[in-house]
Chains A and B, each alone.
Chain A
Amino acid sequence: MEDGELATRPATIGELRQRLRSMGEPWTVPARFSDDDPLPDLPPQLVDPGHVKGLRAVNTREEFEAILREAPPVNPFLAARWRELGAAVPGAAEGTPEGAGTPAPGQDVPEWGVG
């Protein structure tokens, strides 16, 4: 990529593809776009700095972990992950995370196994 090119916008998909080639093709443009397609001329807009306004802002690990201690996971897989990390997880889990949801041989089609 030429110096200063980064500060300009590619005018077309073909120009975008050319830039990607010059960068070693870190990513691809879907084939449905033709080289002649223009990139839309969208007005720039800054991120609203208040886009998470109203939510509890957490800035330190100590603060975050104190909050998490008050809200342990109910998901048994996550509870197992927390225990792996050394966190105490109160509450109940019916069955074992390792076994739960793994139907016995010849039983149900697992939900993650169907495309």
Chain B
Amino acid sequence: MSAPSVDWRNRFGRAWITSVRDQDGTSNCWAFAATALVEAMVRIDHFLWSSRSEGDMVHGVGKQSWDFGNLGEAITFVEENGLADPDCFPFGVAAALYTAQESNQSVTFLSPTPDRQGRTVRLAAGASVSLTDPALKKQHLDQVGPMATMITPPVDFGFLGSQVYMPTTTVLGPAHALLVVGYDDPGRYWIVKNSIGTGWGVQGFGKISYDANLLEPAGFAGLLPGTTNPDPWCRRRMRNGALIQGSNGAARNNFELFVRRGMNIEHWYRENSTAAFTWNLVGNVRSADPWRDTFHDDALDGAAAVQSSFNRNYELVYRTTFGQMRHVFFNQTSGWWEDGTLFGPGNPIGIAGFVQSNRGAPGDFEAVVVDSSGIAHHWTKHNSFPWTMAPGTWYDRGVVASNVASGGPGLVQSKLGRTGVPENGTGELHYVCAQTDGRLHHYRLDASGWTYLTSFGAGADSAPCLIEGTYGAHDEIGVGDFELCVAVGGTIEHWWRYNAGLGPWTRSAVFGAGVRRVIALIQSTFATDLEIIVENQNGTYQHWWRDGGGWHPGPNI
């Protein structure tokens, strides 16, 4: 028995539907409905806001802005090729070629960026179903999620304001695709998301009476639970440090962890599709190719990890016996770890702040490395044309801060400072570090350079870990809060800042004992729980997580 009413705009106390778009007079409603479906199911499967590109779908299918299409070919395209984000290929190009782009060409938006393979939401084969029985459609809406459909509404449909649509004429307009986000049996209407801007219906959503008999005979297209596989690019702000939530495992959400043991970095994973949540050792980070066995037994400290848009490769940086930071990466195609290069200032200390930023496409790698004199240096590896440096070169971009006590995973590519979607390389870098005065100092990189913003806390004797999560954001556009965990006197402090209102830093919890430092923080697909990995004073690593009941200690790893 299906629920009497379902509305995914606000269900289980949360929002699940991405922002309303405008197809801007094109004939691409089918791509907007299918894209909205993928975005909604990523949100439902993974508690993740993901912005996908209707342009990638339209041109990937081989069509133009004036071309009609259908939901079957749209979803089949995503099953076979994934669906990229708007910065990879935006909507709005009237007549675009869609071809592989040479990596030495500038981004023209005539083709997707060279790293498309690593920044698409993928669908499992056979992810989709089509339903025509209204009872089954409601069952799907209740038990799975929204569905896309195509109808031929009367000509007055485009003028719906508030209340429930009933036709005033039988004269039909053009076929039109919509995302069905719910229904209400007592009120006898369906709830749909349109793609002609927020001026239609109520903020772009409308109610269609059962008595209009528009949706009842139409085929609905849906995606089955757990079939979306989001890319690391859309997760990148929600994690930092040694822990990644990737897409391995049956639920496509395993944890991947990189910790130092002796002089090596070990790769561990947690299988998240089984209730046992077992941690398993993969092995040392070391090349399996004897001709490339250039790095091992050289780790002086823990690693900072990124899953990059380079084919979802794992990228690590760690302090090495060679007197600098080392960058290594796991090539998902070959299955080998490979050596990036040594980089950064001499005599580094601690763990680097390390992210893939918005600059360029593929985005640059950015690192903040603290040296033994307490200077935090900003280094960049430029990853895309135009090559202001030789490809693959890390280069010094100046000083972030001084009097820094230790390096840590405190660097974030924020949504703050963006000019819109696509982000087009805009947005600020933020860095928080513990300085020698025991306070946490917050810095921002904008167009004018690195600037000090504020300081907070006291007694911090280790480096913090910082993310920009999703609390405070109600859709994929909104800026989420900063979340920060830091060890202070052996305990863990959790701090947060309300970014939408640029609020102050607030401490929300103190927990744990015997903790040396926090080496990872993520907001996970487990209902947006926060998860941290700490290094204890006795040398063990431990997992902690927070749900609505507070912080809970997990096992030692």
Q: Chain A interface (Cβ within 8 Å of chain B)?
A: 1, 5-10, 13, 16, 19-20, 23, 25-33, 39-40, 42-48, 50-61, 64, 67-68, 71-78, 81-82, 85, 91-104, 106-112, 114-115
Q: B85-93, B137-145, B359-367, B371-379: which lies at the A interface?
A: B137-145
CB distance from B553 to the nearest CB of A (A): 13
Q: Is B184 at the interface (CB under 8 A from chain A)?
A: no
How many angstroms from the CA of A102 to the CA of B163 in the assembled complex?
Answer: 32
Residue pair B199, A32 in contact (C-beta under 8 Å): yes
Residue pair A71, B164 in contact (C-beta under 8 Å): no
**Which positions 1-60 of chain B face chain A at CB distance < 8 Å?**
1, 3, 10-15, 30, 44-47
CB distance from B178 to the nearest CB of A (A): 12
Q: Chain B interface (Cβ within 8 Å of chain A)?
A: 1, 3, 10-15, 30, 44-47, 68, 70-73, 75-76, 126, 128-133, 135-136, 139-140, 142-144, 150-152, 154-156, 158-175, 177, 199-200, 209, 218-221, 224-227, 250-251, 253, 272-277, 470-474, 478, 480-481, 483, 496, 498, 500, 508-509, 524-529, 545, 547-550
Residue pair A96, B72 in contact (C-beta under 8 Å): no
Q: Ordered nearest first, which 3 A-B pairs have the shortest CB separation?
A: A95-B547, A100-B527, A99-B548
Tell me the interface secondary structure of chain B in the complex. Answer: loop
How many angstroms from the CA of A106 to the CA of B508 in the assembled complex?
Answer: 7
How many angstroms from the CA of A58 to the CA of B136 in the assembled complex?
Answer: 9
How many angstroms from the CA of A93 to the CA of B248 in the assembled complex?
Answer: 17
Q: Of B274, B472, B509, B525, which contacts A91 at CB under 8 A? A: B274
Given A85-B1, A91-B274, A112-B13, the answer on whether A48 and B150 have CB atoms closer than 8 Å is yes
CB distance from A79 to the nearest CB of B (A): 9
For B220, the chain A residues whose CB sits under 8 A away are: 52
CB distance from A62 to the nearest CB of B (A): 11
Chain A residue nearest in CB terms to B224 = A71
Residue pair B161, A29 in contact (C-beta under 8 Å): yes
For B473, the chain A residues whose CB sits under 8 A away are: 111, 114
Q: Of A1, A100, A107, which contacts B529 at CB under 8 A? A: A100
Given A68-B143, A76-B526, the answer on whether A6 and B168 have CB atoms closer than 8 Å is yes
For A42, the chain B residues whose CB sits under 8 A away are: 155, 173-174
How many angstroms from the CA of A25 to the CA of B160 in the assembled complex?
Answer: 12
How many angstroms from the CA of A111 to the CA of B45 in the assembled complex?
Answer: 17
How many angstroms from the CA of A74 to the CA of B272 in the assembled complex?
Answer: 10
CB distance from A5 to the nearest CB of B (A): 8
For A23, the chain B residues whose CB sits under 8 A away are: 166, 168
Q: Of B72, B139, B275, which contacts A64 at CB under 8 A? A: B139
Given A71-B227, A95-B526, A112-B474, the answer on whether A47 and B150 have CB atoms closer than 8 Å is yes
For B142, the chain A residues whose CB sits under 8 A away are: 81
Residue pair B143, A85 in contact (C-beta under 8 Å): yes
Given A16-B159, A64-B131, A109-B481, the answer on whether A44 and B171 have CB atoms closer than 8 Å is yes
CB distance from B8 to the nearest CB of A (A): 11
Given A74-B226, A77-B527, A92-B272, the answer on whether A112 and B14 have CB atoms closer than 8 Å is yes
How many angstroms from the CA of A96 to the CA of B209 in the assembled complex?
Answer: 36
